[in-house]
Amino acid sequence: MRSVRARTDLLGLDHGHFTGQRSWTEEELRSAVAGAATWTDVVERLGLRSGSGIATVKGHAVRLGLDTEHLMTPTSARGARTDARRPDVARLDRAGSLLAAAWFTLCGDDVSWPLEPARYDLLVTTTTGTRRIQVKTTTVRAGDTWKVYLSTTGRGRRTYDPDEIDDFFVIDGDLTQYLIPATAVGGLQAIHLGAYERFRVPALAVPRPSTRRSASVAPRPSPTRR
C-alpha cells in the first residue's frame, strides 16, 4: 500500500477521496478544519467521538499540512467564560486514585504510587504500618444505593486475593468514600454500598473561622501621678 501510494504521489494523482478505514475523506477534513473553532468541533463535524478522534484527526491534519492555528487558541482567549467548566461525575473513574490519595494525605498519611503495574493502586503508610490500596469508583445506581465492582475488568472478571491488597477505597457517584478491608469482601465480584455503611470515611470538613468576638478587655487605668 505504501509503495502504491508513493507511486501515486510521484505521478501527481489525487487520492484524497480514498478513505481506507476512515469514514471521512481528506477533503472533508480540510473543510472541517477550516470551518471549526476547536478540535472538538472538527471531530464532531466528521462524526467522530471527541475522546479518541482528536488525536487521530490532529495527526492527519499535520500530515496534510493544514493550517490549524485558529484551533489552538484557548477558549478563554476568545472571550468565553472560564467559570463555565464544571466537574463531571462521568470522569470519576479517572479521578478516583487522585481523590483517594488526597484523602489519605489530608489524614496525615504518606502515599506512594507503584512504579510498575501492580494489583494495588496506592501504598499508604500510616502510624500502624503500610497498606496496599485498590481504588474503585462507581456511577451505577442500584435502587437507593450504589453498586460497585470489586473485580478486575476485561474479558473475564477476576477477584482480588486478600494476599494482593489490604483495603478497597471506594468512591460512589455522590463522592461518598468508603475504606473497606479486603477481608470483609473477599471473593465478591460486586457489592451494594448500602450494606457497608460502617466503612464510610469522614468527608473533608473545612474548618470555618469562629464568628464569636473575643471578650473585650477593660483597659488598665493609667498610674496616678503624684
Q: Is residue 105 part of a domain?
A: yes
Based on the fold, state whether residues 94 and 29 are members of the same structural domain.
Answer: no
Q: What is the pLDDT of residue 17?
A: 62
The reported pTM is 0.59
Q: Categorize the per-residue pLDDT at 77 as very low, low, confident or very high, splitting at 50, 70 and 90.
A: very low
To the nearest whole number, what is the mean pLDDT of the chain? 83
Q: Positive or negative, the Cα torsion across 130, 132, 137, 142?
A: negative
Q: Is residue 13 part of a domain?
A: yes
What total of structural domains would you count in the chain? 2
143-147: average pLDDT:
95
- Pick the residue with more confidence: 167 or 85? 167
Range of the domain at 123: 89-199
Q: Is residue 208 part of a domain?
A: no
Based on the fold, state whether residues 65 and 160 are members of the same structural domain.
Answer: no
Residue type, 74: P
CATH code for the domain in which residue 187 is found: 3.40.1350.10
Percent residues over pLDDT 90 in the chain:
42
Q: Is residue 83 part of a domain?
A: no
Query: How many CB atoms are located within 10 Å of the residue 185 CB?
Result: 21
Q: Is the pLDDT of residue 137 over 90?
A: yes
| b/e code 122-154 from CB counts within 10 Å (16+ = b) | bbbeeeeeebbbbbbbbbeeeeeebbbbbeeee
Q: What is the pLDDT of residue 148?
A: 95
